[in-house]
Amino acid sequence: MQKDWLEELIAATNTDKRNERQMRILEAAVDMFGEKGYASTSTSEIAKRAGVAEGTIFRYYKTKKDLLLAVVMPTLTKFAAPFFVQTFA
């Protein structure tokens, strides 16, 4: 269920095709940020959960903040942007 939700949100704002490793990283980040919070989650924990080396995360995302934005931006785009357009336009 979560994977479908995540794929749908990412597809809504990204025309690039994400590979399986990136999807595992994003899923692991969602899980870990949800469990421990952003500040308490390390990239090494995300990498371990995703089954990749920590350096692999930084191949796709320059910083942990960039990884967080990759998780959050699709949600904001899908849900918040239409609200603001409808409310303030």
Q: What's the CATH code of the domain at 29?
A: 1.10.10.60
Q: At 74, list the tokens.
A: 């699709």
Question: How many distinct structural domains can be found in the chain?
Answer: 1
pLDDT digits (tens, 9 = 90+) for 14-68: 545 678 999 999 999 999 999 999 999 999 999 999 999 999 999 999 999 999 9
pLDDT digits (tens, 9 = 90+) for 3-23: 565 566 555 545 456 789 999
Domain that holds residue 75: 2-88
Task: Give residue 42's pLDDT.
Answer: 98
pLDDT band at 84, cuts 50/70/90? confident
- What is the distance of C-alpha 61 from the center of its chain? 10
What is the reported pTM? 0.73
